[in-house]
Amino acid sequence: MNKFTVAVIQMDSQNDVQKNLDTAVGFIEEAVSRGAKLITMPENMHYVGMDSAAHAEAIPGGRTFRVMAEQAKKHHVWLHCGSIYEKNEQNARPYNCTMVISPDGELVAKYHKIHPFDVVIPDGPVNRESDRICPGNEIVTVDTKEVGCLGLSICYDIRFAEMYRIMALEGAQILLTPADFTMPT
């Protein structure tokens, strides 16, 4: 594997997609100015709120994909776009999807979160992500050649170690797990 700089972007995304995209572009530009070759973003980078279906986009083709592809191509960097909600033609619930875009602005991989975050905290909140998103069913790795073989996952997937073992057996050298944690959970 080559030696290169990775930027890990931290954002406080809210329910304004355009503002979130503008913020992401600003962070991408900063990362590029610091020499990053691989730039990663957080879960739900384009929208945080309860109406995931209304903010789901096509991948490729949707607004977030187009903005990120343009940035990857403009700066000739690899972008791991955290996650966004992807339209699901078979179900009203969208996928929580991460994507990897090449320096040519091409989609080279996408992964749908397999393990929705369903939790009941005693005397605390109840979160049933599976009510809002459709789980995926495929483990995904992508060999970029340039920045290594990436293993893709999202947030709660991290609690399922066998998934990472499979990615390692498939050649993953870098495991990417964007996460959107909350204080109560």
Listing DSSP states for 74-99 in one string gives: HHT-EEE---EEE--TT-SSPEEEEE
The SS3 assignment for 175 reads strand
How far, in Å, CA of 87 to CA of 62, rounded? Answer: 9
Active-site entry in 43, 57, 86, 129: 43
User: Which one-letter DSSP state was computed for residue 105?
Assistant: S
**57 included as an active-site residue:** no
Q: How far is CA 34 from CA 3, 75, 125, in A?
A: 15, 12, 40
Q: Is the CB of residue 168 less than 8 Å from the CB of residue 149?
A: no
**81 included as an active-site residue:** no
**146 included as an active-site residue:** no
Active-site entry in 81, 97, 134, 155: 155
Q: List all residues 6 or more positions away from 146 whose beta carbon is below 8 Å from its beta carbon.
A: 2, 37, 78, 103
Active-site entry in 81, 97, 113, 134: 113
Catalytic residue numbers? Answer: 43, 113, 155
